[in-house]
Structure 1
Amino acid sequence: MGAPKHAAERYTYGECLRWPDDVRYELIDGQAWMMSPVPSIEHQDIAGDLYFQLRQALQGAPCRVFIAPVDVRLPRGDEADGDIDTVVQPDVLLVCDPGKIDRRGVRSAPDGVVEVLSPSTAARDQIAKRRIYERAGVREYWLVHPTDRTLTVHTLVDGRYGIPEISELKDSTVLAILPDVAIAWDALVARLPAVEP
């Protein structure tokens, strides 16, 4: 089976596994969304730095951090992997339950997710993926806005994301789910290309 040709069709993870390896897709409620072929250098620098900082901070801890591409399968119940209709590849993800990790990636909600916004995926990250992360139970969802130099943090409380916390990418930001872990921004932001007026 080739890659999907009609966005209106519904797909499952089982079907995705038969698509060509050179094109990456995410599934959101059965709808296939093509991933950006090559992220910008700014996007890569931010995602890589966050992964590096988290990896260093979590040495010796039970939590593990991963960087895209890693399939995160988000079942609605106890359906088999092949029947799951929501599979995403967050830029950076944090998993504290080793039982969720297998050879294919992660099954069930990560504890934390970071998406670095790109023009081609910003709307999906801020709307559709926010909704599915909330539904799945992702405890903390970060959206890094490279152009605006801001961070939007959604924290799960009683199964819902409340009002997001928005801050500048400066000083440091403590993870709500791991209060001993903070991301430092200043050196990272200093490396990024200047924002054009």
Structure 2
Amino acid sequence: MPFQHKRQTKIYYTYADYASLPEEERCEIIDGVLYMQAAPSRIHQEILMELSRQIANYLAGKPCKVYPAPFCVRLPDGDEKGDEDIKTVVEPDISIVCDQSKLDGRGCIGAPDMIVEITSPSSARKDRLEKFYKYERAGVKEYWIVEPEEKLVSVFVQGDNNRYGRPDIYTEGDEIKVSIFPDLVISLKNIF
């Protein structure tokens, strides 16, 4: 049952609500607001698979792991104690987690080291605004926004002030050097 704030009539959802939904329901919760997700397009899935493949090949035998969607990431805002307190639950298209203590049987609790979101017409605003700020505040070191229609990738890296600077923009045919893995280069030639 969603949490209803005493002073407001607005209903807030939590991870407990998310966990009680049928498995075939795709949704995310950001700051207690529930967002239903449409099934991804074929192009979206092709990009997801190729990026995941390149990253997974590099990470084979290393402690960091790549998790393609659907993969639950719980982002506590502070000292939430239980499932009924966590009001942000996302399913990034790709999550890379190096700190194994953040993983449990349900997914990741806390910030992955890197997140990739592949936009669709229905998700672009959420990926560029709500998720951008949640990922930055949570401490995601590197955040990619992939735009299939424009064939663009915007790469945001956290600086010394724990904020994302201006993005580096890449397009079809470029290669991207992943900042959290200096010897990993992703070729966009096979992505778009």
Same fold at TM > 0.5: yes
Q: What runs of 5+ residues in structure 1 fail to find an aligned partner?
A: 3-7, 190-197
Deviation at 1:58, TM superposition (A): 0.7
Q: Report the number of matched residues.
A: 183
Residue 42 (1) aligns with residue 43 (2):
yes
Task: Give the match for residue 163 of structure 1.
Answer: 166
Aligned 1:169-180 pairs, distance under 5 A:
169-180=172-183
**Distance between the aligned counterparts of 2:103 and 2:172, measured in 1?**
31
Ranges of 4+ aligned residues in structure 1 off by more than 6 Å = none
Deviation at 1:48, TM superposition (A): 0.8
The aligned amino acid for 1:52 is R
Task: Give the match for residue 109 of structure 2.
Answer: 107
* 1:125-166 C-alpha deviation (Å, 9 max, x unpaired): 011000100010000000011111111011111211111111
Q: Mean alpha-carbon deviation: is it higher for 10-19 or for 146-155?
A: 10-19
Aligned 1:120-139 pairs, distance under 5 A:
120-139=122-141
Q: Mean alpha-carbon deviation: is it higher for 179-188 or for 128-137?
A: 179-188
Query: How much identity, in percent, do the aligned residues show?
Result: 43
TM-align CA RMSD? 1.3
The aligned amino acid for 1:126 is R
TM-score (norm 1): 0.89
When residues 99 and 162 of structure 1 are mapped into structure 2, their CA distance, relative to the original with a 3 A threshold, is: same
C-alpha contact 1:73 1:81 (8 A) present in aligned 2:
no
Task: Give the match for residue 16 of structure 2.
Answer: 14
The aligned amino acid for 2:156 is H
Deviation at 1:77, TM superposition (A): 2.0
SS of match in other structure, 1:70: coil
* 1:150-185 C-alpha deviation (Å, 9 max, x unpaired): 110111112111111112132311101111111111
TM-score (norm 2): 0.91
